[in-house]
Amino acid sequence: MSRNSSPAKLLIIYTGGTIGMAFDNSGSLVPMGFREIKYHIPEIAKLGYEFDMHAFTPPIDSSNMSPEIWVALCGIIERNYNSYDGFVILHGSDTMAFTASALSFMLQNLDKPVILTGSQLPIGEIRTDAKENIITTMEIAGAKKEGRSIVPEVCIYFDYFLFRGNRSKKYNTEKFEAFHSPNYPSLAEAGIDILYKEAYITSHPQQSFHVNTKLDTNIAVLKMFPGITQSAVESILNTPGLKAVIMETFGNGNTITAPWFIQLLEKKIKAGIIIVDRTQCDGGSVELGRYETSAYLKEIGVTGGSDMTFEATVTKLMWLLGQDLPVAEVKRLLEISLKGELTEK
């Protein structure tokens, strides 16, 4: 892989997260201002890249991430799109996969890398994982082949692996290896060299970049378990203003077949509420009709969530509902890949 001859120019957006946190007097980690990145990691000068930094004030713990901040992030990228070769977003790991998924739908015809990273230990700690994560993320964000970005998509880089953002999931709170991509291969692996897996990386778009930040958050989640009560299910499905429900089911998308449950789902679907069936399993896909315990779901109009992560399902629904499309069209688009977020059968 050869780099472009002129040095890559990156915009680093610091939103908050452990990477920039410090312990307060009571021993809790709290967000703090991130000093000049060169202060923390003088080695990055050796990359030979130019970069600027945009820091959120105040920085946030990513548990407070919100659709409004996703819109703000899109605005920053849109305003700076032509001035930079790539974008690095420093973000708390807790909701990083939601932000990466949301941005993948909101940034249209992306032709440059937008890579999120963070760390499990603050950058000031002696054993921090922040330095490697930032240095390699920057290297990937600026990497080009024949003058074009090698990875023109929204990704997460963490602990030597680059994953497609809308396929990623935080699965571990303790290991440096905090993320995985259960249903799609990694896009790159960092060892002595950075090995890009071009066959899995999205191709360059034909049309020009723009953002579409319309979101509708009128969704809810129904997580199934043996013994769930009718009143608990009703309270979720009767949520005022509700437009869609992510129903987290067992195995290949199976769930209880009690008549009260089937009738309730059918009534809501007839009233125009979208029910997406997503498996509680991390790996594998929903297959409506494979078992008798899901065949009826298909008949009454439940939509299959394929192998999408929870994070991708939430943000794809918010984005599709924000587009003011007919219900049938939202259902159709849910079952096809818009940004590589699911495997089409």
**Under the rule (CB under 6 A), what is the footprint of ligand ASP?**
16-18, 61-63, 92-94, 118, 120
- CB-wise, 94 or 159, nearer to ligand ASP? 94
- CB-wise, 121 or 333, nearer to ligand ASP? 121
Distance CA 110, CA 141 (A): 13
- CB-wise, 99 or 285, nearer to ligand ASP? 99
- CB-wise, 133 or 166, nearer to ligand ASP? 133
Distance CA 141, CA 153 (A): 10
> Shortest distance, CB of residue 179 to ligand ASP, whole angstroms?
11
Residue nearest to ligand ASP as judged by C-beta position: 92
> Shortest distance, CB of residue 61 to ligand ASP, whole angstroms?
4
Dig out the tokens for 95 from the structure: 């909701």
Answer yes or no: are the C-beta atoms of 178 and 158 closer than 8 Å: yes
Answer yes or no: are the C-beta atoms of 189 and 140 closer than 8 Å: no
What torsion do the CA atoms of 176, 178, 184, 186 make, to the nearest 10 degrees?
-30
What residues act catalytically?
18
- CB-wise, 93 or 252, nearer to ligand ASP? 93
Burial class (CB in 10 A: 0-12, 13-18, 19+), 9: middle
> Shortest distance, CB of residue 60 to ligand ASP, whole angstroms?
7
- CB-wise, 7 or 124, nearer to ligand ASP? 124
> Shortest distance, CB of residue 118 to ligand ASP, whole angstroms?
5
Bridge partners, 50 (sequence order): 9
> Shortest distance, CB of residue 92 to ligand ASP, whole angstroms?
2
CA proximity to 176, closest of 100, 216, 218, 118: 118
Answer yes or no: are the C-beta atoms of 334 and 320 closer than 8 Å: yes
3-state secondary structure 117-169: ECCCCCCCCCCCCHHHHHHHHHHHHHCEECCEECCCCEEEEECCEEEEHHHCE
> Shortest distance, CB of residue 12 to ligand ASP, whole angstroms?
16
Bridge partners, 157 (sequence order): 162
Answer yes or no: are the C-beta atoms of 307 and 301 closer than 8 Å: no
318 Cβ contact list (under 8 Å, min separation 6): 67, 102, 215, 216, 217, 219
Answer yes or no: are the C-beta atoms of 179 and 166 closer than 8 Å: no
